[in-house]
Amino acid sequence: MKQIAPLMIGSLVWTACSLADPAPPASGLSDQPVPPGHVFTLRPGDVARGGGMRVGFEAVLSDSRCPKGERCITAGEATVRVWLQSGGGPRIPRVLRLDPSGAKATDADVQLLRLDPYPVSGRATAASDYSAVIVLRTHAAVPAAGASAADT
């Protein structure tokens, strides 16, 4: 019986771990790979990379969205500062708003899809509590005039 007990305990632990909830979408990244075109979440200071590009979330610049529980004349807006970097090039700062326009860089488009948490009336949100839901779309290199795809 003494030999079976460790086997049974190990089996129970393995079963419990395998039944746990799967990992959430990419979040809390520190220069982790994200496939281009996939939605991911960054917290201030986090960096993600995909398709030869890196994107870093620096800070929330403003959050004037109408809080839950309030009646507002306008919906307000939220803006965040990110940076984009192609290969080993310089970081290009960009400001993103919660609208479809996004921001463009030479090799990519980045769009802020959502900013969490949504404001609640009477509650302040600490800068470190924010998370930005972002999509990064990279552009395929276009061959120069007269060059074939095999030349690039």
At 53 the pLDDT is 87
Q: Is residue 142 part of a domain?
A: no
Residue 7: which H helix or E strand, with range?
Answer: helix 4-18
pLDDT by position in tens, the chain (length 152): 455 444 444 443 333 433 333 333 444 456 778 888 889 999 999 999 888 889 999 999 999 999 988 888 988 899 999 999 988 889 999 999 987 666 666 567 888 999 999 999 888 899 999 999 998 887 654 444 444 444 43
Query: For residue 92, how many other CB atoms are within 10 A of its CB?
Result: 15
Our count of domains for the chain comes to 1
Full-model pTM: 0.68
Q: Convert the pLDDT of each residue in 5-18 to its tens digit.
A: 444 444 433 334 33
Largest CA distance in the chain: 77
At 12 the pLDDT is 37
Q: Is residue 23 part of a domain?
A: no
Q: Name the token pair of 146.
A: 């007269």
**Cα separation, 97 vs 62, whole angstroms:** 10
Q: Is residue 6 part of a domain?
A: no
What 16-19 contacts at long range (C-beta under 8 Å, 24+ apart), as own/partner pairs, is none
For 99-109, letters b (16+ CB in 10 Å) and e give eeebbebebbb
Q: Is residue 116 part of a domain?
A: yes
At 60 the pLDDT is 97
Q: Is residue 7 part of a domain?
A: no
Q: Convert the pLDDT of each residue in 100-117 to its tens digit.
A: 666 666 567 888 999 999
Q: Is residue 19 part of a domain?
A: no
Report yes or no: 133 and 112 within 8 Å, Cβ to Cβ: yes
User: Residue 131 is part of which domain span?
Assistant: 31-136
